[in-house]
Chains A and B, each alone.
Chain A
Amino acid sequence: MLFTVNKSPLTSDNLKTCLRFAKKGNSVLLYEDGVYGAIPGTKVESVVKEALKSIEVFALKEDLKARGFGEVIDGVKLVDYAGFVGLVEEHNVCPWL
């Protein structure tokens, strides 16, 4: 299962509730404003780090770059749109919008 998250976790509970439903082995893709969850040093960094112990977290490179960021929390994997498509090939999608 791939959860797609598009809200900034700094202003929305979206990522938090998504992680409550995501189980071991699931993946989460942060895209659009969701990518703010992938950058280091925010108030939600610890939440993401905790999640990384049991699930895979991806961030969409194009959205991150568009917002002026490149660095991500250790363990978060960057994917481009081709990678996004690849994730959807592998997993069924649960859009957590």
Chain B
Amino acid sequence: MKFGILILEGPYQHQAGDSAYNFAEAAVAKGHAISGLFFYCDGVQNATTYMTPPQDDRHISKRWAEFIAKHGVDAVVCIAASKKRGITDANLIKGARIAGLGQLTELGIESDRLIAFGD
């Protein structure tokens, strides 16, 4: 199956982003495809290089970048939400792209399931 994942909360503040990641890993492990990740609202913060967590904590954006590269996943970061938070291509994780909300509709159309994680 093709799973689309929508992430609506920021990193290190709410569990939503962690749940989304764990779900995505488990889906891939079961042989499913991730048709896309869409980061929206504060969720866009998950995809920036602006984080240096302590060594013994998970590195949320690095983890996503590795996931995206390993599985060739399309990861879209909402442009409007990014602009509000100063996120540009210069501070975006590798493999992610900034694009409009239309991509979320596209993701909904092409996915067998679109599941949202948020507050």
Direct contact of A and B (CB under 8 A): yes
Whether B50 sits at the interface, judged by CB under 8 Å, is: no
CB < 8 Å neighbour of B116 from A31, A32, A80, A95: A95
Contact-residue bracket for chain B: 20 to 34
Q: Are A82 and B19 in contact (CB under 8 A)?
A: no
Which residues of chain B are near A85, meaning CB under 8 Å? 23, 26-27, 30, 32
In B1-43, the 8 Å CB interface with A consists of 1, 3, 15-16, 19, 22-23, 25-27, 29-30, 32
Q: Are B26 and A81 in contact (CB under 8 A)?
A: yes
Q: Are A82 and B116 in contact (CB under 8 A)?
A: no
- Total number of A residues with any Cβ neighbor in B under 8 Å: 18
Cβ proximity bits A54-69 to B, threshold 8 Å, 1 near / 0 not: 0000000010000000
Which residues of chain A are near B1, meaning CB under 8 Å? 89
Whether A92 sits at the interface, judged by CB under 8 Å, is: yes
Q: Is the interface of B mostly helix, strand, loop or mixed?
A: mixed
User: A60 → chain B, closest Cβ, in Å?
Assistant: 8
Cα–Cα, bound, A82→B25 (Å): 9
Chain A contacts to B: CB under 8 angstroms: 4, 6, 31-33, 62, 80-82, 84-86, 88-89, 92-93, 95, 97
Chain B contacts to A: CB under 8 angstroms: 1, 3, 15-16, 19, 22-23, 25-27, 29-30, 32, 113-119
